[in-house]
Structure 1
Amino acid sequence: MSTIIQAQQLSKSFGRHQVLHSLNFSIEAGEPIALIGPNGAGKTTLFSILCGFLKQDHGNIEIFGQKPGSEGLSGRVSALPQDAMLDPNFSIGTQLTFYGQLQGMNKATAVAETRRVLALVDLADYISQKATVLSHGMRKRVAIAQALLGQPELVLLDEPTAGLDPVNALQVRQIIANLTSEATFMISSHNIFELERLCGTVLYLEHGKLVQQRSVQQGAIGYLSLQLENADAALVLNVLRQLPGVNSVENAQKNEFAIHYDRELAPDLDISLIGVLRAQGWQYRSLTQGRTLEQQLFAVANG
């Protein structure tokens, strides 16, 4: 894999308020990258620096070996801000064609590229429609199509599913998943469960500091997450700890249990566990292999 983003001691302040504190990270091309953090963590500022809209005060950052905003990155990097708007007075085809021409395409190429990206987001039949006749979800997909013009290698998406209903949010996730072989996506979102489904790497910012950079462990070996309906935690712990192959069981939160086990000794522990739950009359809400992204992040952050 090749490195697409390299940051060293990256810092940014607005007046006396320091927003980013000496960030160091390296991003490889490939699976989508999640940018996570509470409000005010510095996510938008980092995106703005990557786009070349802001310049850092200290440190260094490069995209494909070049400074953000440099001419050499034209067409290679694109971004979709959360509040991206479409002009209600022009058809979406006219607008996307215009944006293509702003990238340096001739009219014919821009029209062809508009048709291509609208097909990617399943809106080819709406090329002549104005934004006013589109649903919120459809307008969001048009905005994503705009970010895909020119086949960029790095696409920055700020809250791409914010405000969408589950069906449209799923469509957006599918679009991103389908295009991961063509571009690397960096996605800022508060929806940690959505990012868990999409991303291979996560950057976790808090108070402008990079708290963690880690791979998303999906289906981790030797770990089960169990969530029960109302149950006697002490009894559950006692029963589960006696199962063959189980190394330890933790009751991290009410009715939630983390089970560590030896996969060689108990390769089908999940199946055995369901039998135990049935025999005990315990109703379970979920049983998942591996630690969730939420558990991975905050177990470290709090520990």
Structure 2
Amino acid sequence: MTVLVDCQGLTKRFGHKAVLQQLDLQIHAGAAVALVGANGAGKTTLLSLLCGYIQPDHGRVEVLGHQAGSPALNGRLGALPQDAQFDPDFGLAMQLHWLARLQGMSVAKSRQETERVLALVDLTAEAGSKVAQLSHGMRKRLAIAQSLLGEPELVLLDEPTAGLDPLHAKALRDCIQRLSAHCTFVISSHNLFELEQLCGTVLMLEQGRIRQQVAQVSETAVLRLQLCQENYQSLLPLLEQLPGFVSWQCTSPLQLELQYDAVTASDFDVQLLQVLHQQGIGYRQLSRGQSLEQQLFQSGG
């Protein structure tokens, strides 16, 4: 499996505060990787080190086989900084065109790439507009567009949907899912629901170190069922009779968490839906596995 990011003993201080402390990390090509953690945990600092914006005090940082910040990464590494800025007096297409040229693209290729990434973020109609004329959400989409120039192998996104309306946030998630077949994304976000949809692995930063790694792709035999009404007591004896049923618990007034044997009852979810239909019990959502929030925080601390 191809190693895209390799950090060994990574330490970064700002004054007397150690933001990252002897951090070891490897990221492989494949499904998107999430970075989570409290404010100040070191997420943005780590992404900045990977981009070469800042240098570590100690340790080694390699990206795609090169030292972070190397010119050899031009066009291979894309990034959305948390505070990305553009010249307010120039048009969108013009700025993307010159950014592509700085990556070494020809005039024709840079124009082609500009059109492609503007379409990906639904800004084709604003290609000639000045950045000063854009809303906050449009500027964020422009910043995402520049991170995708040249179809990079690795893209680092710092809070990509912050400031986006629900429609464009969903469109961006769909875009990331499509592009993930050819590109690996590393996404820093506080939106656990979003990360749960997008990422195969979640890395939790705490006090400058990787405290926990959660593999989203698992064989955990858990179903979460959100009902429309609380009078579900008559449903429980029927669920307990289903083949493969192990246990249940009520995690909120309208939500049940059901554990079952996935080996002997691979169609447990289908049987569950049949029971709900037969009993005329409505439900809002049925999802597989523990939520990311539960996996990260159920052990406390």
TM bucket normalised to smaller: 0.7 to 0.9
Match of 1:113 in 2: 113
**Which residue in the other structure is 1:216 paired with?**
216
Q: Which residue is 1:259 aligned to? A: 258
Aligned pair count reads 301
3-state secondary structure, aligned to 1:137: helix
1:38/1:206 contact within 8 Å kept: yes
Please tell me whether the aligned partners of residues 224 and 286 of structure 2 are also in contact (alpha carbons under 8 angstroms). yes
d(CA) in 2 for partners of 1:38, 1:192: 12
Structure 1 residue aligned with 2:293: 294
Deviates more, 1:67-76 or 1:101-110: 101-110
Residue-by-residue CA offset, 1:229-249 (whole Å, 9 max, x unaligned): 564798876664454421222
Tell me by how many angstroms 1:180 deviates: 1.6
Q: Tell whether the 8 Å contact from 1:226 to 1:287 is kept in structure 2 after alignment.
A: yes
What does residue 167 of structure 1 align with? Answer: 167
Contact 1:217 1:290 in 2 (8 A): no
SS in 1 for 2:98: helix
> 1:26-76 deviations in whole A, cap 9, x for unaligned?
111122111111211110110111111222222222112221112222222
Distance 1:244 1:57, change over 3 A: same
89-98 or 103-112: which moved more?
103-112
Give the corresponding residue for 1:145: 145
1:202 paired residue number: 202
One-letter amino acid of the counterpart of residue 263, structure 1:
A
One-letter identity of the residue aligned with 1:223: V
Moved more, 40-49 or 254-263: 254-263
- CA 270–108 in structure 1, closer or farther in 2 if over 3 Å, else same: closer
Q: Which runs of 5+ in 2 are unaligned?
A: none
Aligned to 1:6: 6
Q: CA RMSD in A?
A: 2.7
State whether residues 214 and 295 of structure 2, in contact with CA within 8 Å, keep that contact through their aligned partners in structure 1.
no
Alignment correspondent of 1:193: 193
- 1:213 is displaced (CA, Å) by 2.0
The answer to whether the 8 A contact 1:217-1:291 is kept is: no
Worse overlay, 37-46 or 238-247: 238-247
Q: What code does the residue aligned with 1:88 have?
A: P
Secondary structure of residue in 2 paired with 1:302: coil
Q: Distance in 2 between matches of 1:175 and 1:51?
A: 22
The alpha carbon displacement at 1:119 in A equals 3.1
Distance 2:186 2:66 in 1: 18
Q: Residue type of the partner of 1:189?
A: S
TM-score normalised by length of structure 1:
0.87
Q: Which range moves more in the overlay, 155-164 or 176-185?
A: 176-185
Cα 1:195–1:111 shift into 2, 3 Å: same
Give the equivalent residue in structure 2 for 1:68.
68
**What is the Cα deviation at residue 266 of structure 1?**
3.2
Change (3 A) 1:115 1:229: closer
1:89 paired to 2:69: no
Aligned to 2:21: 21
- TM-score, normalization: structure 2? 0.87
Match of 1:273 in 2: 272
Structure 1 residue 166 displacement after superposition: 0.9
Pair 152,250 (structure 1): closer, same or farther in 2 beyond 3 Å: same
AA aligned opposite 2:174: Q
Q: Taking structure 1 as reference, are residues 107 and 267 closer, same or farther at Cα in structure 2, changes over 3 Å only?
A: closer
Distance in 2, Cα, partners of 1:293 & 1:221: 12
Structure 1: tracts of 5 or more residues without a match: none
| Cα separation, 2, equivalents of 1:269 and 1:110 | 51
Superposition map of 1:123-142 within 5 A: 123-142=123-142
Give the aligned partner of residue 34 of structure 1: 34
Amino acid at match of 1:54: I
CA contact (8 A) 1:204 1:210 kept: yes
